[in-house]
Amino acid sequence: CGKGRTVILQTIGLLALARESQIVSDPKGENYDYTAPFLRKCGVDVFALDFKEPLKSNHYNFLQSIIDAVETGNMSQAIDYVWDITGMLVGEAKGEKLWNNGEASIIASCIMIVVFENMDNPEYQNLTNVFYFIAEMCKAPKQGDEMMLAKYMKKLKVENPTHPALGLVAISDIAPSKTRGSFYTSALTTLRLFTNPLIYEMTRKTDFRPKDIGSRPTAVFMILPDGKTTYYSLASLFCTQVYSALSDFADKLGGRLPIRVNYVLDEFGNFTKIPEFATQLSVGGGRGIRFNIFVQSLAQLEEKYGREIARIIRSNCETWIYLQAEDLETQKEVSERLGKYTTTSYSLSSSQQHYTSNSSQSVNLVGRELLTANEVSRIRRPYNLATSRNDPAIMTSPDLSKWSFNDFYGLGSKEHNNKLRMIRSDARSTHQENGIQLWGIWKRYQI
């Protein structure tokens, strides 16, 4: 039995009984299928962002926080949210910053245009329309003509000189035209996932607000295909947006959320890099936001975040539960985390010559690892090693079948569980794929 049946499913149930909120990454969708009915009985609002079967998913618009800020007239906050989502989409520069900054400038300005200019047409306020706005407005013009985006920006500057998009596009505007072409191409590549009609259907509107998660017991499951990591970038984006919104909400309430929110991030090593995640870990607890991250090995953290940031992330994790790992470096670090103890070392030596013999013995006090890396590697289920600020301990993690949660969830044998998943999955409501609705503003500029 793996971590799902020994730790994660029990954690989800305990958090529901504690009346706390949770955001759960759910490879394959098993956690949702098994626990959703029980959570609802506990009075928890349950939502699923289903990247496996988007037509069964709840809706979540990644631009919603920006839309809400613009609606309330808080343009400063709206611009902050624009840069937050843009930074997450574009990521950190791996080479010269010019290219990242230019791409980010294009995406940020076009997000603001799509949101700001469609306050009366909410069906167009989504990232799919941002993609097609860039794709159409940034097409290479005919010889002697001007690009449609440039025409649009000039018109915008005349009609509304203080339009927030004008400042956002300034970074890319000062670059040569050939360089700007690379910005447009990179922006389209970054937003390509939103051209999928099913992802559009998921993200065209919103069924819940992030602050709802911190106001009343709520569970959001991010159901992800386990065979590919394509949509993990969107899961990372969702986690980042929710954290940002919850932090702002907590600040308005004196610094702490009414309901504690728990991130339960299975297969965290597959997530794309979350900006400032080390900081979120260290300050989130004070706001009532707690992280539970599950990785196959510590090397996954170093691959995504680099050695130094990965070290900070590890040090900010107060409680470690070691189940099993094949990675030697992980075993060594767990061994080092346990520390050493003092033990007695005995030595005996002897020598013999023709008619005489000599022997000596000594007793020394030496330091020894509480568990060596080799001994750590021998830990097997159902045992686990738990470390915290207190003394470490070898504990047991029984399979779910040994817990009352097995009955609470309605589970049984493997065959029964497979059949139950199929029944519950088939019972989920499916919405229609209505086709992508496009703003079409570019048609006014086409000759």
d(CA 274, CA 241): 10
State the pLDDT at residue 168: 86
pLDDT tier at 447 (50, 70, 90 boundaries)? low
Residue 221: name the closest of 433, 32, 411, 51 by CA.
32
Residue 281 near residue 316 (C-beta atoms within 8 A): yes
CATH of domain 3-60+212-324+379-411: 3.40.50.300
State the pLDDT at residue 354: 65
Please report, as a single letter, which amino acid is at residue 443.
K
The first and second tokens of residue 61, run together, are 């618009």
Given a cut of 80, whether residue 175 has pLDDT beyond it is: no
Identify the bridge partners of residue 340 per DSSP, sorted by sequence position. Answer: 369
Query: What's the whole-number mean pLDDT along residues 402-426?
Result: 95
Residue 85 near residue 130 (C-beta atoms within 8 A): no
d(CA 289, CA 296): 23
Q: 361: Cβ–Cβ under 8 A, 6 or more apart, which residues?
A: 346, 347, 348, 349
Write the DSSP assignment of 193-253 as a string of letters: GGGSHHHHHHHSS-S--HHHHTTS-EEEEEEE-SS--TTHHHHHHHHHHHHHHHHHHHHHT
State the pLDDT at residue 220: 98
The first and second tokens of residue 38, run together, are 């029980």
Residue 43 near residue 49 (C-beta atoms within 8 A): no
Count other Cβ atoms within 10 Å, centred on residue 198.
14
Query: What's the whole-number mean pLDDT along residues 108-128?
Result: 97
Q: 175: Cβ–Cβ under 8 A, 6 or more apart, which residues?
A: 98, 102, 183
pLDDT tens digits for range 342-388:
888 888 777 766 666 777 778 888 888 999 999 999 999 889 999 98
Residue 264: name the closest of 60, 56, 32 by CA.
32
Q: Is 358 helix (H, G, I), strand (E, B) or coil?
A: strand
Q: Which residue has the higher pLDDT, 165 or 346?
A: 165
Q: Which residue has the higher pLDDT, 2 or 260?
A: 260
Given a cut of 90, whether residue 126 has pLDDT beyond it is: yes
Residue 116 near residue 163 (C-beta atoms within 8 A): yes
d(CA 26, CA 267): 9
Mean pLDDT of the chain: 92
H-assigned helices in 54-190: 64-71, 75-90, 97-116, 127-137, 148-159, 164-168, 170-173, 177-190
Given a cut of 70, whether residue 191 has pLDDT beyond it is: yes
Given a cut of 80, whether residue 15 has pLDDT beyond it is: yes
Residue 224: name the closest of 424, 64, 23 by CA.
23
pLDDT tens digits for range 218-268:
999 999 998 888 999 999 999 999 999 999 999 999 999 999 999 999 999
The first and second tokens of residue 138, run together, are 């940034």
State the pLDDT at residue 291: 97
The first and second tokens of residue 177, run together, are 């035209």
d(CA 30, CA 415): 14
State the pLDDT at residue 359: 76
Residue 324 backbone phi and psi in degrees, to 5: -175, 145
351: left (phi over 0), alpha (psi -120 to 50) or beta: beta
State the pLDDT at residue 174: 65
State the pLDDT at residue 28: 87
pLDDT tier at 1 (50, 70, 90 boundaries)? low
Q: Whole-prediction pTM value?
A: 0.90
Q: Is 37 helix (H, G, I), strand (E, B) or coil?
A: helix
Query: What's the whole-number mean pLDDT along residues 305-313?
Result: 93
pLDDT tens digits for range 70-80:
999 999 999 99
Query: What's the whole-number mean pLDDT along residues 185-195?
Result: 96
With 0-12 CB in 10 A as exposed, 13-18 as middle and 19+ as buried, what is 347?
exposed
Out of 98-102, 267-271, 307-311, 403-407, least confident range: 98-102
